[in-house]
Amino acid sequence: MTPRKILIDTDPGQDDAVAILLALAAPEELEVLAITVVAGNVPLEKTSRNARVICELAGRRDVPVHEGCAAPLERPLVTAEHVHGKSGLDGHDLPEPTMPVADLHAVEAIIHHIRREPRGSVTLCALGPLTNVASALLKAPEIAERLGGIVLMGGAYFEVGNVTPAAEFNIYVDPEAAKIVLKSGIEITMMPLDVTHKALITRDWLDGISTLDTPAIRAVCGWLDFYERFDMEKYGGKGGPLHDPCVIAWLLRPELFSGRHVNVEIETQSELTRGMTVADWWRVTDRAANATFIGDLDADGFFDLLTERLAAL
């Protein structure tokens, strides 16, 4: 089977790191053409450093890491050091990366790969604010019909918000970018908090994988030990949600997930509900469906996949 060609746009972040490792651990199924980084969880220079640290941890210095937008399209940057730590990868220290930043700006790199690869053959995996993705669509609108699809972590409906009562972080940070992406006509699969809050780390799982004792597993365990404390304090101790790995897991085993193809609009005008993803789950409007909004997953199957693949790194 020919591997699916993917681009990963990301703001690492511990959960981004697990998602990237999961992708790099599946070379027979996924060909990572490039990683593009965006400001989000932490500022751009740190998401760039972190992405290169993750590639070197996976032994994949061959994967180009391109730096992208340092701020949202129209708004000041909002970061999440309170969740991810000052570095964005608190919990496990690794050496500074020696691989260079790739020459092309991330927006140019996204456009380049989509133009170069056969129509429909590239899937874009968006794990952070959508600033780079929207900027590429604004600069080269024709890529929308060439892109095979976008799978993104973002949004919330029944689960409501995690950064405000109404909005999930990735969408909240750059709602204008999210609106451009949702209106692009591209086939979109969304992993909102509705599903990622069911992908909760358990102590048993972490203890189980820690017995594998490889450099990648040691990093993942350290990162997730740190990362999950915020959500456990906030939501009452059930475990930290593995948001971004849901995107890659869907590519590898879509049967683990279920959702509905519905209309999703983005609130950009109201300060109270900025970044809200208004999902017409019950189809009460005649607004055209523009995204597959994922609401559920087989959590056991998801964590079994993670264990199996991360052990192979």
Question: What does the DSSP 8-state code read for residue 6?
Answer: E
Check residue 40 for interaction with ligand RIB (CB under 6 A): yes
Looking from the CA of 232 toward its CB, the CA atoms found within 13 Å total 14
Instruction: Identify whether 197 is a catalytic site residue.
Output: no
For residues 30 and 100, what is the distance between their CA atoms, to the nearest angstrom? 23
Q: What are the tokens at 5?
A: 């060609």
Q: Name the CA dihedral angle for 79, 80, 81, 82, rounded to a multiple of 10 degrees.
A: 140
Residue closer to Ca ion, measured from CB, 146 or 223: 223
Stretch that binds Ca ion, among 84-92, 155-163, 240-248, 299-307 (CB under 5 A): 240-248
Question: Cβ distance 155 to 193 under 8 Å?
Answer: yes
For residues 125 and 19, what is the distance between their CA atoms, to the nearest angstrom? 10
Residue 162 binds which of ligand RIB, Ca ion, none (CB < 5-8 A, kind-dependent): ligand RIB
Neighbours of 180 (CB within 10 A): 20
Check residue 168 for interaction with Ca ion (CB under 5 A): no
From 244, 276, 290, 305, residue interacting with ligand RIB (rule: CB under 6 A) = 244
Check residue 68 for interaction with ligand RIB (CB under 6 A): no
Check residue 239 for interaction with Ca ion (CB under 5 A): no
For residues 191 and 158, what is the distance between their CA atoms, to the nearest angstrom? 13
Residue 97 binds which of Ca ion, ligand RIB, none (CB < 5-8 A, kind-dependent): none
Question: In whole angstroms, how close is the CB of 257 to ligand RIB at the nearest point?
Answer: 17
Check residue 127 for interaction with ligand RIB (CB under 6 A): yes
User: Considering 66, 84, 243, 261, which one is annotated as catalytic?
Assistant: 243
Measured in residues, the chain has a length of 313
From 168, 174, 194, 280, residue interacting with ligand RIB (rule: CB under 6 A) = 168
Residue closer to Ca ion, measured from CB, 13 or 148: 13
Name the 3-class secondary structure at 55. Answer: helix
Check residue 162 for interaction with ligand RIB (CB under 6 A): yes
Report phi then psi at 93, rounded to 5.
-90, 135
Which residue has 């690869």 as its token pair? 117
> Which positions lie near ligand RIB, rule CB under 6 A?
11, 13, 15-16, 40-41, 127-128, 153, 162, 168-170, 243-244
Q: Which active-site residues does the annotation give? A: 243
